[in-house]
Structure 1
Amino acid sequence: MVIDQEFHAYHFSVLYDNLYTRFGALVCGCIAAFYYFHHENALRQFLNSFWGKVCEFASFGIIILLMWLPVVSTRMDDQQTLTILYQTFSRNLFSGAVAYLALVCLEKSYLSWLLNLLFSNRFWYPLAQLSYSMYLLHVFPILILVQMGVNAMQQYPERYDYTHWQAMSLICLYATIITIIGAVIIYLLIERPIMNLRK
């Protein structure tokens, strides 16, 4: 699946872009905001209840599980039902879990303390400033590096003897670095000057 161009064309034109569930992330965020602004007391009461804690750790588990599943691995080629279920529900489940954990961060629990400590760190501020430029650019380094990696592993298998996870980790690392460098350039040459015009 990873190197099958027909699969990628089908994946992005049919499954990724045209799913009826593609707006699930937006709906999850809207539902979370609705309950926070219009039912805050009931929401806080639920978040501190037993079932609220169960949902808290289930949400965390869902995020980890969906990040861990090797859905573009050749091992998943025979798991057609699992692939269909993943494509249908993964974005909505992931978005719902993230929205729920965002609400959890408003309450006091061990997980919310850890998440608040992690996500409120000043380390993230520069990346937050670059996030839109990174969003615009990230696809290009990934596509180029995946193609280069696949070609290298096919032509020189003894030299580039990587497992799926090793190859994906290296591509992710290199793509992230290239994306950040490109985003910094766009931010300094385009975004920042335009923001300065408002002053």
Structure 2
Amino acid sequence: MPVIFFHAGFSYFHGGFVGVDVFFVISGFLIGRMLFREYNQTQRLDLKAFYWRRYLRLTPVYLFAMVVFYFLAGPDYSQTLWANVLYVNNFLPLESMSMPWTWTLAVEEQFYIVLPLLLSLLILPFRHALGVLLGLFLLSFIIIGLVASNDAQLWHQPYHRLFSGKDNIIHYFDTLYVNLHTRFGTLICGVILAYLTVYRARWLQQVLSRRLLSTGLTVLALVVMISGVMLNGNKQWLGESLHLARLNLILDRNLFGMATCWMIVLCSAPGTTGKLVNRFFSARLWYPFAQLSYSMYLFHYMLAVPLVLMTVNILKHSPGPAPLMQHHWFLLMFVGLVLVTVPVSLLTYTLIERPFINLRKPAAAAAGGTAKVAATA
């Protein structure tokens, strides 16, 4: 929902794209937990079954979305849809992408291809699997630092100037924002949490039972998450400092991922705070949105563009002085976008997503009883 707020142009949610980082953490956590449970029960990973389940979960409705995009946007804007079919659209420059908002699916699918191979061949067979995972997480910081420091346009400008014009934004997007090697940190963060819940659950409970430590980590996580949203919403906060800009480039997304992991842990806590958080996110109100979230993600942008253009056109031709695109207009656009996106997503979920999800269940059950987790991942 924050991502849809952001794409609707609602100015309070200019930092809403941090929802992508939350999504990556949750995705890494769910997939990692499914794989760890399977390995814990069978001492092996059924890679063929895993890849087939992922294909059935992501691809059918995605292919349908590509067809819809082709007819809506026309052939001139659909020349690189082949890259979407292969989940390599994030390798292309932003201006060459078809359905550019689906770069996250490319990153996710590339990670899904690599992760089971790493786990089965290089990580799980050895005693220090957690150390290897932590090493990969540390490596993600190093890679971001190397990429950023070897790019003068990123490394020698204050943070706000990275987003001060179209060329700067596109450069940031192509260089640092959409690539697996610069975004796998939050995915690995979720995988590490999954490992801890499967193999170190008692240690997690001990951390949660220490009230002072638990409260301190909760406050720290909230500060990191709120700061991340606000900083991405107002990039002037770091001023002209190059040091702060560089630190933010290297640290911000992975720190946000760590904070998200702690909030997930908190949801399982027996204390009052954990119960409240868990009760809020477990409310039945969110269930329809959780079921429809993938279809909403695929189709919302196709619906947002004509809605925004229509609203701008109405405002331009309104009598009297031209009204500004103020907050209430963006809020109305968001409400309109949700009202249009939900029924479209419900239709595609019912006719395409759900039937293919049901096809996965026998394979998931055969892979060590992980069907329940797989059904939502």
Between 1 and 2, higher relative CO (CA 8 Å, sep ≥ 6) is seen in 2
Q: Which runs of 5+ in 1 are unaligned?
A: none
Give CA-to-partner distance per residue, 1:28-52, whole Å, 9 cap, x none.
1111111222122221111222222
Q: 1:28 aligns with which of 189, 206, 210?
A: 189
Relative distance call for 1:115 and 1:79 in structure 2 (3 A) is: farther
1:172-183 to 2 correspondence within 5 Å? 172-183=334-345
TM-score normalised by structure 2 residue count: 0.43
Give CA-to-partner distance per residue, 1:137-176, whole Å, 9 cap, x none.
234345555666778788989433245x556545544444
Tell me the distance in 2 between the aligned counterparts of 1:44 and 1:5. Answer: 48
Tell me the distance in 1 between the aligned counterparts of 2:235 and 2:206. Answer: 45
Question: Is residue 186–residue 254 contact of structure 2 (8 Å, CA) maintained in 1?
Answer: yes
The reply to whether residue 65 of structure 1 matches residue 227 of structure 2 is yes
RMSD: 3.7
Tell me the distance in 2 between the aligned counterparts of 1:31 and 1:66. Answer: 21
Determine the structure 1 residue equivalent to 2:157: none
Of the two, which has the highest radius of gyration?
2
Determine the structure 1 residue equivalent to 2:207: 46
Tell me the distance in 2 between the aligned counterparts of 1:74 and 1:148. Answer: 29
Question: Is residue 316–residue 322 contact of structure 2 (8 Å, CA) maintained in 1?
Answer: no
Question: Is residue 21–residue 92 contact of structure 1 (8 Å, CA) maintained in 2?
Answer: no
Relative distance call for 1:77 and 1:177 in structure 2 (3 A) is: farther
The reply to whether residue 109 of structure 1 matches residue 271 of structure 2 is yes
Q: 1:185 aligns with which of 347, 358, 367?
A: 347
Letter in 1 for 2:353: E
Tell me the distance in 2 between the aligned counterparts of 1:84 and 1:149. Answer: 38
Question: Is residue 106–residue 112 contact of structure 1 (8 Å, CA) maintained in 2?
Answer: yes
Q: Which runs of 5+ in 2 are unaligned?
A: 1-160, 362-377
Q: 2:282 aligns with which of 120, 124, 141?
A: 120
Q: 2:260 aligns with which of 98, 110, 113?
A: 98
Tell me the distance in 1 between the aligned counterparts of 2:312 and 2:351. Answer: 33
The reply to whether residue 11 of structure 1 matches residue 202 of structure 2 is no
Letter in 2 for 1:56: T
3-state SS of paired residue (1:98): helix
Relative distance call for 1:32 and 1:110 in structure 2 (3 A) is: same
3-state SS of paired residue (1:123): helix
How far residue 178 of structure 1 moved from its aligned partner, in angstroms, is 3.5
Relative distance call for 1:143 and 1:10 in structure 2 (3 A) is: farther
Relative distance call for 1:19 and 1:6 in structure 2 (3 A) is: farther
Question: Is residue 176–residue 182 contact of structure 2 (8 Å, CA) maintained in 1?
Answer: no
Give CA-to-partner distance per residue, 1:102-149, whole Å, 9 cap, x none.
111111233212111111111111111112212222343455556667
Tell me the distance in 2 between the aligned counterparts of 1:194 and 1:37. Answer: 28
Determine the structure 2 residue equivalent to 1:160: 323
